């Protein structure tokens, strides 16, 4: 067993019904550098989505435990904020190394709790690791500004300082990457942290805590609490928490943004999406169809940057039969099976919602060209599997277009011109990502200029920026001022301090007080 899990031999009160002879490992809290068993009375079962077997039980942290976590972070801030920037940079170097060495362990945990395939789970870790690598450049990123001799013998310095205790609330779909978007950027700037991972797959975040400890991070610098709404409300309301990073659904994101902001906190909130891929008839057909299929069905469509809507322009619509044939070839299986292209979705409830949205499309007049609802996966009959599904003749008024499906479902539309495609996308409330497939530079340029979406791919289906840039989803997909990671991420976790200083040689005394505004 891992440090963050213990096998309970006595049954505690929790909401599922357990066979008497069985119990599952509990997930611990991480407070002040120690993995501690919660005293919670309410627990949440985490299931392997491929089998629906219980993997672990996650506590709904008690008020006292959450208070202890903030207290530990507050105490640690006193010394951590004063450590040299080189010390914090060294921690990132070590963390980077240790995460790399533990890639397989992290990926296995992700596949077990979240369901994605092993290569995709490794990608989840790698994309987070890149943020840690970027944090290693903190000595350049956190440079301030100086203007000497702003007046006679007077100099101005502006530099960034940490905020204090910050908090992160993460979704289920990237159990390693999204925690790694948050706490490394915060602590490298000198903040301390309280993390609330998704209650549906907290394992990877807990392994990251083990690795952080092994890397030499002082006690209390990062702490982990578990739970759902009460933990979220605690974070939004606690007077000692200065900033909140949230990634997840619209409903939770808007709520946390509003509640946190109302309490005077800095909040960045990345939310849902409906990403469109525009297929021009001049695109490279082979490449485009493969890219589209990978981006629509990879991770069983549970990526906020999945291309869930394809807009075929003009004659490109002739490629639909080919798209279906290729999609049928994808292998649906448990994520750890070597040939799996896509694994299960997170829960039976998620599967039910996905199936309902597919049916709503059919009921509203769309055509179901490929139906993955009744897929059977041998050996994993109890898993939450949905096979690749393609709906066509979808219109913007349909529910399957308006709502985020978050499953392996590609809705397709056919339009006459690029202008029509741009109009549809710009009218959609979300602005997370979009892509165009074309061999014409002028078409690509027009698209990138006229489209009102924060992250654009040109012949790139999932344009998630590398961390020297930032994750710049916009409109309905983001609330806040500073985006995640990159320069914006460091801005989020720091505030400016500006010092005006006068050092004059000789006699500086004045004969009388100057009462006019100094200029
Ligand atoms: P979710 O909103 O259900 O959960 C996210 C976090 O919020 C969890 O820690 C959860 O405990 C908490 N939470 C859930 N409901 C809440 C509520 N009503 N009030 C307060 N807190 C609540 O999201 P999810 O299902 O875990 O993740 C999938 C969603 O996340 C999708 O909509 C996806 O598009 C989005 N997402 C967005 C990005 C992005 O960068 N834009 C990245 C990944 C995922």
pLDDT at residue 12, rounded to an integer: 39
Q: What percent of the chain has pLDDT above 70?
A: 96
pLDDT band of residue 11 (cuts 50, 70, 90) is very low
Q: Nearest CA to 10 among 57, 55, 66, 46?
A: 57
Does the beta carbon of 6 lie inside 6 Å of ligand 1?
Answer: no
Q: Is 462 in the pocket of ligand 1 (CB under 6 A)?
A: no
The rounded Cα 156 to chain-centroid distance in angstroms is: 38
Please indicate whether residue 229, judged by its CB atom, sits closer than 6 Å to ligand 1.
yes
Contact of 364 with 401, CB cutoff 8 Å: no
Give per-residue pLDDT as tens, 452-508.
999 999 999 999 999 999 999 999 999 999 999 999 999 999 999 999 999 999 877
Closest CA to 267 of 409, 176, 168, 196: 168
Question: How long is the chain?
Answer: 519
The confidence score (pLDDT) of residue 491 equals 96
Three-state secondary structure string covering 483-498: CECHHHHHHHCEEEEE
The answer to whether the CB of 470 is under 6 A from ligand 1 is no
Q: 252 CA distance to ligand 1 centroid (A)?
A: 6
Residues 11, 19: Cα–Cα separation, whole Å: 10
- On the question of pLDDT at 307 being above 60, the answer is yes
Instruction: Tell me what pLDDT residue 510 has.
Output: 76
What local confidence, expressed as pLDDT, does residue 21 receive? 39
CA-CA distance, 250 to 271, in Å (whole number)? 5
Residue 186: pLDDT band (50, 70, 90) is: very high
Quick check: 253 pLDDT over 90? yes
Asked if residue 268 has its Cβ within 6 Å of ligand 1, the reply is no
Nearest-10 Cα torsion for 286, 288, 293, 299: 120
Contact 74, 242 (CB under 8 A): no
Q: Helix/strand/coil (H, E, C) string of 366-419?
A: CEEEECCCCCCCCCCCCCCCCCCEEEECCCCCCHHHHCCCCCCEEEEEEECCHH
pLDDT band for 7, please (50, 70, 90 cuts): low
Is 217 touching ligand 1 by the criterion CB < 6 Å? no
| Catalytic residue status for 304 | yes
Which residue CA neighbors atom 38 of ligand 1 most closely? 304
DSSP count for the chain of H helices, then E strands = 16, 24
Q: Of the residues 168, 176, 236, 252, which should be mutated to test ligand 1's pocket, given the most ligand atoms within 8 Å of the CB?
A: 252
Ligand 1 site, residue 171, Cβ cutoff 6 A: yes
Predicted-complex ipTM score? 0.99
Question: Is the beta carbon of 172 within 6 A of some atom in ligand 1?
Answer: yes
pLDDT in tens, 422-452: 999 999 999 999 999 999 999 999 999 999 9
247 Cβ closer than 6 Å to some ligand 1 atom: yes
What distance in angstroms lies between residue 227's CA and the mean position of ligand 1's atoms?
13
Alpha carbon of 273 to ligand 1 centroid (Å): 12
Active site residue: 304, 355, 400, 414, which one?
304
Q: String of b and e for 251-282 (b: at least 16 CB within 10 Å)?
A: ebbebbbebbbeeebbbbbbbbbbbbbbbbee
Nearest atom within ligand 1 for CA of residue 406: 31
Residue of the CA atom closest to atom 14 of ligand 1: 252
Closest CA to 93 of 162, 190, 168, 188: 188
Pocket test for ligand 1, best of 248, 259, 309 (most atoms within 8 A of CB): 248
CA angle 166, 479, 180 (to 5 degrees): 45
pLDDT tens-digit map of 329-361: 999 999 999 999 999 999 999 999 999 999 999
Q: Rounded to the nearest 5°, which phi and psi values hold at 231? A: -65, -40
User: Across residues 123-140, what is the average pLDDT?
Assistant: 98
In a mutational test of the pocket of ligand 1, which residue from 49, 175, 249, 404 has the highest number of ligand atoms less than 8 Å from its CB? 249
């Amino acid at each position: 067993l891992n440090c963050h899990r213990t096998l309970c031999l006595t049954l505690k009160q929790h909401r599922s019904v357990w066979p008497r002879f069985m119990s599952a490992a509990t997930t611990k809290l991480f407070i002040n550098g120690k993995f501690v068993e919660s005293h919670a009375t309410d627990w949440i079962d985490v299931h392997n989505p491929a089998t629906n077997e219980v993997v672990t039980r996650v506590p709904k942290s008690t008020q006292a435990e959450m208070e202890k976590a903030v207290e530990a972070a507050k105490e640690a801030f006193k010394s951590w904020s004063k450590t040299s920037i080189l010390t914090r940079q060294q921690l990132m170097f070590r963390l980077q190394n240790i995460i790399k060495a533990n890639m397989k362990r992290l990926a296995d945990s992700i596949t077990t709790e979240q369901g994605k395939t092993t290569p995709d789970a490794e990608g989840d870790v790698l994309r987070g690791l890149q943020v840690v690598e970027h944090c290693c450049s903190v000595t350049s990123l956190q440079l301030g500004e100086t203007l000497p001799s702003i007046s006679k013998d007077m100099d101005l310095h502006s530099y960034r300082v940490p905020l204090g205790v910050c908090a992160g609330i993460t979704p289920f779909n990237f159990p390693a990457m999204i925690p790694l978007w948050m706490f490394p950027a915060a602590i490298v700037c000198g903040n301390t942290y309280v993390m609330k991972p998704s209650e549906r797959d907290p394992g990877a975040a807990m392994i990251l805590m083990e690795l952080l400890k092994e890397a030499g991070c002082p006690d209390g610098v990062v702490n982990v609490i578990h739970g759902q709404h009460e933990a979220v409300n605690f974070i939004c309301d606690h007077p000692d928490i200065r900033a909140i990073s949230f990634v997840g659904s619209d409903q939770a994101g808007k709520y946390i943004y509003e509640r946190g902001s109302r309490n005077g906190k800095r909040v960045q909130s990345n939310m849902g999406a409906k990403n469109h891929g525009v297929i021009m008839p001049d695109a490279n057909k082979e490449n485009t169809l493969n890219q589209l299929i990978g981006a629509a069905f990879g991770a069983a469509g549970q990526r906020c940057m999945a291309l869930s809507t394809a807009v075929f322009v003009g004659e490109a619509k002739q490629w639909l039969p080919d798209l279906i044939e290729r999609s049928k070839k994808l292998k649906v299986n448990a994520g750890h099976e070597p040939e799996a292209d896509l694994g299960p979705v997170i829960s039976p409830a998620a599967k039910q919602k996905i199936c309902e949205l597919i049916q709503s499309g059919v009921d509203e007049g769309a055509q179901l060209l490929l139906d993955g609802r009744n897929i059977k996966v041998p050996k994993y009959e109890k898993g939450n599997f949905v096979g690749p599904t393609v709906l066509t003749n979808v219109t913007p008024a349909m529910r399957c277009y308006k709502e985020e499906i978050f499953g392996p479902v590609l809705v397709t539309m056919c339009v006459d011109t690029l202008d029509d495609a741009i109009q549809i996308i710009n009218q959609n409330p979300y602005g997370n990502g979009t892509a165009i497939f074309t061999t014409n530079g002028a078409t690509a340029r027009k698209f990138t200029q006229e489209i009102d979406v924060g992250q654009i791919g040109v012949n790139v289906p999932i344009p998630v920026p590398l961390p020297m840039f930032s994750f710049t989803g916009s409109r309905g997909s983001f609330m806040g001022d500073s985006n995640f990671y990159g320069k914006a991420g460091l801005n989020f976790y720091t505030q400016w301090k500006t010092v005006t200083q006068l050092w004059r040689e000789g006699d500086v005394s004045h004969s009388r007080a100057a009462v006019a505004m100094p200029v």
